[in-house]
Amino acid sequence: MTDSGEQQAPAAPALRLACELALSYLETLPSRPVGEQATLAELRARLGAPLGEEGVEPAAVLRDLAAGAEPGLIGSAGPRYFGFVIGGSLPAALGADWLTSTWDQNPGLYAVSPAAAVVEEIAAAWILELLGLPAGASVGFVTGCQMAHVTALAAARHALLARTGWDAGELGLQGAPPLRILAGSEAHVTIFRALRLLGLGTRSVERIESDGQGRMEPAALARRLEAGRGTPALICAQVGNVNSGACDPLADIAALARQHGAWLHVDGAFGLWAAASPRLRHLVAGAVLADSWATDAHKWLNVPYDSGIVVVADTGAHSAAMSATASYLQQRQDGGRDALDWVPEFSRRARGFAVYAALRSLGRRGVAELVERCCGHARRMAEILAAEPGVEVLNEVVLNQVLVRFHDRAGGGSADELTRAIIRRVQRQGVCWLGGTTWHGMAAMRISVSNWSTTADDAELSAAAILTAVREERAELAGLAGRAG
Ligand SMILES: *Cc1c(COP(=O)(O)O)cnc(C)c1O
């Protein structure tokens, strides 16, 4: 800490400390245990205190906060966290995120932050280009894929009802003509929450059968569309099944949507990033033909939370569903971008800066390499694990997701129980962290590789740690069985 006299900003001592704390966290991130190191009660005790009558000095607040939180932080930004689909933070994105907080801009209106508006505009164009989406589409920067769905499906609701002569913005849904909603049997839970929030409900959703990898069956979709001809339809497809990583066949689905005048929405939270790789983009072929897309920057692009992206081809429907006007707002100043036309929020964080920084630091090739590298690590882990007797990889590893199931070699034991016990053991060990799921009725370990900093060594070390846990768990079971017998 320096004492450079009058020039120093009042925030300087606290912010220098924050920077030191942040850097020392990042330095230990690759080697610290990945899982939590304290119980709920311990964390409450470490961090809890009555709110004092008098305030505490900023640097002391930060020092205490970092020390108290430390054992309850999950190494999810680190290289051996394979739980859920999380991703870390690229250095440029993290730095831009620090600056975003410092600048404290509100990008809702061009007039309130011209720089934030222009950076969003540029980042939006880069994203459309990278993901192979229509150049004229409109883009909104939201908290995550969940709110990207809400935004996109609000645009869909608006457009589909407008075709029947109904103004959803003015009249709402009371007495509105019916809409059909079709979604794959493995659609993500956030689709259903978006439908609930939009007043469309979930009961009427027609679930379309999927194949063994979780991909929507176009023939089943065709039959359903045919059966309900005449009613405006919304189809929710996905690329990047949250368990298997499988992608719905969008070209076939889009052709059916066209034929029936349906709105096609694509949940591409992480899977849409396959489009950035020449080697993987065949998985999302036809994506360009959809009407709306939801994806994340905080997952595979490795931008800090929270950062999601919504894209809508029909810019008129998008802004009709979102925009707001008031006499005191200075809107459309100098033809600049007013972000509040494209997202549900009014005031919000200037998320475009970190997205811009991530994309610029990687370049087109860097994004492709990031995606391909993660997929390569996933394949390698699957290969190492599958070589072990009694270890079964349940999915085709087409992307960054691996589903693994463990069988008791002695037979008799339940594979579900053994799989869950091995997941808990790996989590306790702390070399890597991954979670569990139920895939087509079977318990499975779920490995997601989406961090920029994961190396081939991390992948191999983690696969080895999983195999150690398998041997230990089996040895313990055999010991128990021996004692019982
Ligand atoms: C993560 C995920 C979501 C939700 O994204 P958030 O950014 O957490 O809101 C939606 N769909 C899929 C397929 C996902 O993987």
Asked whether residue 356 falls in the same domain as residue 339, the answer is yes
Asked whether residue 189 falls in the same domain as residue 294, the answer is yes
Our answer on whether the CB atom of 244 is closer than 6 Å to any ligand 1 atom is no
User: If residue 294 lies in a helix (H) or strand (E), which one and from where to where?
Assistant: strand 292-296
Asked whether residue 305 falls in the same domain as residue 374, the answer is no
Percent of the chain with pLDDT over 90: 89
Q: From the alpha carbon of 188, which atom of ligand 1 is closest? A: 11
481 pLDDT above the threshold of 80: no
Q: Specify the pLDDT at position 29.
A: 94
**Distance (Å, rounded) from C-alpha 365 to C-alpha 400?**
18
Residue of higher predicted confidence among 289 and 8: 289
Percent of the chain with pLDDT over 70: 97
Q: Specify the pLDDT at position 187.
A: 97
Residues 208/224, Cβ–Cβ less than 8 Å: yes
Asked whether residue 113 falls in the same domain as residue 180, the answer is yes
485 pLDDT above the threshold of 70: no
**Is residue 23, in this structure, part of any structural domain at all?**
no
Asked whether residue 274 falls in the same domain as residue 369, the answer is no
Residues 271/244, Cβ–Cβ less than 8 Å: no
Name which residue sits closest to atom 2 of ligand 1, judged by CA: 269
Residues 256/221, Cβ–Cβ less than 8 Å: yes
The residues, any chain, with a CB within 8 Å of residue 417's CB and separated by 6 or more, are 443
Tens digits of residue pLDDT in 320-358: 999 887 777 777 777 889 999 999 999 999 999 999 999
Query: Which whole number is the average pLDDT over 87-95?
Result: 97
Tens digits of residue pLDDT in 166-215: 999 999 999 999 999 999 999 999 999 999 999 999 999 999 999 999 99
Query: Which whole number is the average pLDDT over 311-324?
Result: 95
Query: Which whole number is the average pLDDT over 304-328?
Result: 93
**Distance (Å, rounded) from C-alpha 388 to C-alpha 463?**
11
How many Cβ atoms are within 10 Å of 11's Cβ, its own excluded? 12
* Boundary (domain end) residue, out of 342, 361, 380: 361
The residues, any chain, with a CB within 8 Å of residue 178's CB and separated by 6 or more, are 231
43 pLDDT above the threshold of 70: yes
Residues 267/325, Cβ–Cβ less than 8 Å: no
**Is residue 178, in this structure, part of any structural domain at all?**
yes
Interval between CA 146 and ligand 1 midpoint (Å): 6
User: If residue 75 lies in a helix (H) or strand (E), which one and from where to where?
Assistant: none
* Boundary (domain end) residue, out of 361, 381, 414: 361
Structure tokens at 135: 């150049």
Q: Specify the pLDDT at position 328.
A: 78
Asked whether residue 196 falls in the same domain as residue 312, the answer is yes
Residues 147/156, Cβ–Cβ less than 8 Å: no
pTM for this model (two decimals): 0.95
Amino acid letter, 113: S
**Number of structural domains found in the chain:** 2
How many Cβ atoms are within 10 Å of 232's Cβ, its own excluded? 22
Interval between CA 390 and ligand 1 midpoint (Å): 32
- Looking up tokens 């009709």, which residue turns up? 320
Our answer on whether the CB atom of 268 is closer than 6 Å to any ligand 1 atom is no
**Distance (Å, rounded) from C-alpha 274 to C-alpha 19?**
34
3 pLDDT above the threshold of 60: no
Instruction: Pick from 145, 149, 153, 310 the residue to mutate for probing ligand 1's pocket: most ligand atoms within 8 Å of its CB.
Output: 145
DSSP track, 429-469: H-S-B-EEEEETTEEEEEEE---TT--HHHHHHHHHHHHHH
Q: Specify the pLDDT at position 412.
A: 59
Tens digits of residue pLDDT in 178-188: 999 999 999 99
Q: From the alpha carbon of 238, which atom of ligand 1 is closest? A: 13
**Is residue 261, in this structure, part of any structural domain at all?**
yes
Q: Specify the pLDDT at position 331.
A: 79
Interval between CA 258 and ligand 1 midpoint (Å): 26
**Is residue 163, in this structure, part of any structural domain at all?**
yes
Q: From the alpha carbon of 240, which atom of ligand 1 is closest? A: 13
Residue 476's domain spans which residues? 364-484
Cis preceding linkage at 167, omega within 30: no
Per DSSP, the three-state class of 117 is helix
Residue 50 DSSP one-character state: P
470 pLDDT above the threshold of 80: yes
**Distance (Å, rounded) from C-alpha 186 to C-alpha 268?**
13
Asked whether residue 155 falls in the same domain as residue 303, the answer is yes
